[in-house]
């Protein structure tokens, strides 16, 4: 099975929310790339982080584990984490693993950003 | 050269203007390209709300109707536990190591416990019943759901009633020319009672259990004996107090009854 690297980029949309764009494979081997992106996204201490899965090619159980680790870090920093761009397949995996109960899944970026801002505000 | 877009090759001929010999499949005029099948599609279990038709072994352990529980649904501190053993002298690919592991999973368990593999084997969506001996008197009876399985790894997820809410991954890979086998888990104690048990000794039992499992696997594959390397990290020290209600699913009382009644092995 060929495994490609995870590429990430970070967008600071405003003071409240940062977006992490994920492209490629999310596996246990993606830890450094994902956590580096999280650190970069958290640089200005945003209240919310939105994960963009539009270009996700592959994810295994190690990748899901990484998302839980990221979520713990975000909770520690009082940040709301949301997700968007999930295909039906990955949305089902979020449901199966019940990670959708702790990361809000949204149909598009606008809703994900709004939810991240709102979640941060009501905390 | 075909002018079809990637992903369009599975569509019927109507939209491309080609004639087909067979009956034409009805497609709406605005049907777009069929999405590509994700590379991991066959590795994941299908979504389940609750465990449905289960084997007799699973039913007797109270697994029918239970929900799956990930680490985020647990009560206790979140732990990452990794156990890794090199397999020098083993001339198998990582896929072959995992193939053996799947096929003979129960054989590698330490004595005092038993693993009732699903009839279909360790495959996505299957449910296995298991018993784990705790001391001489108590037998913990529960099960695990096969969440994910590919050529070089497979992952179990625990159901309600299990002591832990966890994902447990078994994998093999090549590390500097030597095969290695690894068990890694992300887990929380399911409820306050399980958390106390974990702190009072269940964590050490976990260590002994998985070190023995990897030692048995390495021996069965003919590897030269090497120590199992353990790495334990507390990912989240905070307990999720709102999850104390998991207590109502605690399998302890039923487990004890089953443990005293059921023969081991």
DSSP chain B: ---PPTT-TTS-GGGGT---SSPPPP--TT--PPPPPPTTTTTBPPP-SS--S--HHHHHTT-TTPPEE-GGG-SS-EEEEEEEEE-TT----HHHHHHHHHHTGGGGSPTT-EEE--TT-S-TT-EEEEEEEETTTEEEEEEEEEEEE-SSEEEEEEETTSSEEEEEEEEEEEETTEEEEEEEEEEEESSHHHHHHIIIIIHHHHHHHHHHHHHHHHHHTTPPP-PPEEEEEEEE----GGGGGGGGG--HHHHHHHHHHSPP-
**pLDDT for position A3:** 58
- Restricting to B residues 72-101, those with a Cβ less than 8 Å away from any Cβ of A are 72-73, 78, 80
B42 touches chain A (CB under 8 A): no
Across the interface, whether the CB atoms of B157 and A97 are under 8 A apart is answered: yes
Nearest CB partner across the interface for A60, out of B43, B48, B184: B43
Would A1 be classed as within a structural domain?
no
Cα B107 to the center of its chain, rounded Å: 17
Would B98 be classed as within a structural domain?
yes
Across the interface, whether the CB atoms of A58 and B150 are under 8 A apart is answered: no
Would B27 be classed as within a structural domain?
no
The model's pLDDT over B37-76, given as tens digits with 9 standing for 90+, comes to 889 999 999 999 898 877 788 887 888 889 999 999 999 9
A24 touches chain B (CB under 8 A): no
Work out how many domains chain A is built from and give that number. Answer: 1
Dist. CA A49–CA A117, nearest whole Å: 9
Would B241 be classed as within a structural domain?
yes
ipTM confidence score: 0.90
Would A25 be classed as within a structural domain?
yes
Expressed as residue numbers, the domain containing A27 is 6-122
Query: From the CA of B5, how many Å to the nearest CA of chain A?
Result: 18
Give the Cα-Cα-Cα angle A58, A69, A38 (nearest 5 degrees): 80
Query: From the CA of B41, how many Å to the nearest CA of chain A?
Result: 7
A71 touches chain B (CB under 8 A): yes
For residues B59 and B240, the model is more confident at B240
Question: What is the CATH number for B131?
Answer: 3.30.530.20
* B151 → chain A, closest CA residue: A1
A35 touches chain B (CB under 8 A): no
The two beta strands, B78-86 and B153-159, are unpaired
B150 touches chain A (CB under 8 A): yes
Would B64 be classed as within a structural domain?
no
Expressed as residue numbers, the domain containing B191 is 75-261
Dist. CA A115–CA A122, nearest whole Å: 10
Whether B153 has a pLDDT exceeding 90, the answer reads: yes
> Is residue B101 within 8 Å of B213, Cβ to Cβ?
no
Tell me the torsion sign for CA atoms B62, B42, A68, A116: negative
* B51 → chain A, closest CA residue: A96
Would B4 be classed as within a structural domain?
no
**pLDDT for position B117:** 87
Would B227 be classed as within a structural domain?
yes
Dist. CA B9–CA B12, nearest whole Å: 8
Work out how many domains chain B is built from and give that number. Answer: 1
Question: What is the CATH number for A62?
Answer: 3.30.750.24
Query: From the CA of A32, how many Å to the nearest CA of chain B?
Result: 16
Longest dimension (CA), chain B: 73
What does each of the 123 residues of chain A score in pLDDT, given as a tens digit?
555 789 999 999 888 999 999 999 999 999 999 999 999 999 999 999 999 999 999 999 999 999 999 999 999 999 999 999 999 999 999 999 999 999 999 999 999 999 998 865 554
Residues of chain A with Cβ-Cβ distance to B80 below 8 Å are: 69
* Mean pLDDT estimate for chain B: 83
Nearest CB partner across the interface for B73, out of A61, A62, A98: A98
């Amino acid at each position: 099975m060929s495994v490609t690297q995870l590429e990430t980029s970070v967008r600071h949309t405003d003071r409240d929310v940062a977006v992490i764009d994920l492209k490629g494979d999310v596996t246990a081997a993606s830890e450094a790339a994902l956590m580096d992106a999280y650190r970069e996204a958290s640089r200005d201490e945003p209240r919310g982080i939105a994960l963009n899965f539009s270009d996700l090619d592959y994810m295994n159980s190690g990748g899901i584990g990484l998302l839980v680790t990221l979520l713990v870090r975000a909770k520690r920093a009082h940040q709301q984490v949301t997700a968007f761009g999930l295909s039906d397949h990955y949305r089902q995996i979020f449901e199966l693993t019940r990670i959708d109960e702790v990361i809000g899944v949204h149909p598009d970026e606008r809703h994900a950003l709004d939810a991240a801002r709102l979640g941060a505000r009501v905390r | 050269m075909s002018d079809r877009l990637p992903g369009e090759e599975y569509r019927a001929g109507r939209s491309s203007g080609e004639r087909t010999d067979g009956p034409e499949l009805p497609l709406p005029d605005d049907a777009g390209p069929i999405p590509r099948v994700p590379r991991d599609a066959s590795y994941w279990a299908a979504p389940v709300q609750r465990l449905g038709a289960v084997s007799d072994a699973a039913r007797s352990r109270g697994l029918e109707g239970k929900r799956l529980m990930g680490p985020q649904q647990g009560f206790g501190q979140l732990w990452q536990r990794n156990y890794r053993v090199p397999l020098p002298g083993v001339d198998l690919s990582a896929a072959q190591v995992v193939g053996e592991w799947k096929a003979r999973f129960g054989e590698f368990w330490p004595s005092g416990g038993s693993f009732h593999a699903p009839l279909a084997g360790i495959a996505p969506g299957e449910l296995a019943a298991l018993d784990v001996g705790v001391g001489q008197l108590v037998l913990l009876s529960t099960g695990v759901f096969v969440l994910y399985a590919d050529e070089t790894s497979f992952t179990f997820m625990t159901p309600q009633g299990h002591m832990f809410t966890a994902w447990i991954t078994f994998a093999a890979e090549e590390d500097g020319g030597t095969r290695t086998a690894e068990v890694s888990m992300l887990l929380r104690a399911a409820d306050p009672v399980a958390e106390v048990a974990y702190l009072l000794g269940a964590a050490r039992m976990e260590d002994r259990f998985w070190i023995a499992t990897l030692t048995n696997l390495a021996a069965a594959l003919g590897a030269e004996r090497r120590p199992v390397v353990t790495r334990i990290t507390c990912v989240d020290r905070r307990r999720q107090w709102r999850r104390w209600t998991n207590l109502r699913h605690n399998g302890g009382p039923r487990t004890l009854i089953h443990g005293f009644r059921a023969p081991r092995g």
